[in-house]
Amino acid sequence: MIATPADGALRYVAIGDSLSEGVGDAPWSDGVPRGWTDRLAGLLAAQYPETVVQYGNLAIRGQKARQVLQTQLAAAREVAPHVVTLTAGMNDILRPRVDFDRLRTDLTALVDPFTEAGTAVVVVPIPDVSGVSPAGRLVDGRRRALNAIYSELVDDHRVLPLTPTAGTVFEDPRAWADDRLHLGPLGHQRLAEAAAATLGLPVSADHLAAPDGPPPPRTAAGELRWVYRHVAPWLGRRLRGASSGDGRTAKRPELLPVRR
């Protein structure tokens, strides 16, 4: 459990990529993606009703770990957060080439300033999505290599233990959005609960369990729609050297009290 801050304000900052931005979740009324980090901020506010929980989100979709390091770290450190969540590395392993030594260096540089200051740092591992998307099988070796780096951050750099993903809701297609690249509302809600459990907050005992029954079967027509609506645009950006995050700014660049 996080100790109640002496100044009466608990500061939480999310940094990273589209997962932390909230892509795939149901949006707020203003159209801004909600996401698991917004949901986690709400869980923190509910757990600490006598404390002002301040929440900022610097994450930007499409960013690789080096970009997160260069564009988000300084701003996050400036507010001296008590809690930091990080999602970074997935965009690296989706590129044609990935330098895992450099990726390890970048991820270490992202967490060390916080853990050395006593900040609680939560890093999100990548589940096996072979049953969610054909791309999952293609990048599974890279995924396991990235998760091994995350485990090193836990063992050697005081990051909090990783959420288990094998055999959980995060391997179920129903937890994912239509693009099969981002979590859907169910996945974002369960990830918020998993992160809350990592921080010592009480959550339901079955928060990692998949929904009852089998996922709906896929059809040829559905697969063709997925390729047309999601795979083709993604490949087009790769061929143009573009990113989904080009021109975007953080959705919550300043610490603000959580809406209760």
pLDDT of residue 191: 98
Question: What are the structure tokens assigned to 253, written together?
Answer: 């660049």
Residue 15's pLDDT band (cuts 50, 70, 90)? very high
Res 135: pLDDT: 78
Q: Which residue has the higher pLDDT, 150 or 213?
A: 150
Q: By the 8 A CB rule, do 91 and 237 touch?
A: no
Gap between the Cα atoms of 32 and 25, Å rounded: 10
Looking at the predicted structure, is the pLDDT value of residue 8 above 90?
Answer: no
Q: Residue 175: helix, strand or coil by DSSP?
A: helix
The SS3 call for residue 29 is coil
Percentage of the chain surpassing pLDDT 70?
Answer: 87
Give exposure, 145-155, as e/b (b: 16+ Cβ within 10 Å): bbbebbeebbe
Q: What is the mean pLDDT of residues 123-141?
A: 90
Query: CA 144 to CA 126: how far, in whole Å?
Result: 8
Residue ranges covered by each domain of the chain? 9-212
Residue 11 — very low, low, confident or very high, per pLDDT cuts 50/70/90?
A: very high
Give strand ranges (E) for the chain.
9-16, 52-57, 83-87, 120-123, 252-257
What are the pLDDT digits (tens) for 206-242? 999 999 988 888 766 766 675 656 566 666 666 666 6
Coil vs helix vs strand at 227: helix
pLDDT of 132 higher than 60: yes
Rounded to whole angstroms, the Cα distance separating 244 from 41 reads 25
The pLDDT score that the predictor gives to residue 37 is 98
User: Distance between CA 28 and CA 227 in Å, rounded?
Assistant: 27
Distance CA 103, CA 172 (A): 28
Q: Which CATH number is associated with domain 9-212?
A: 3.40.50.1110
Average pLDDT along the chain: 90
Is the pLDDT confidence value at 180 over 90? no
Rounded CA-CA distance 222/225 in Å is: 5
| Residue 101 predicted with pLDDT over 80 | yes
Residue 141's pLDDT is 96
DSSP 60-89: -TT--HHHHHHHTHHHHHHT--SEEEEE-S
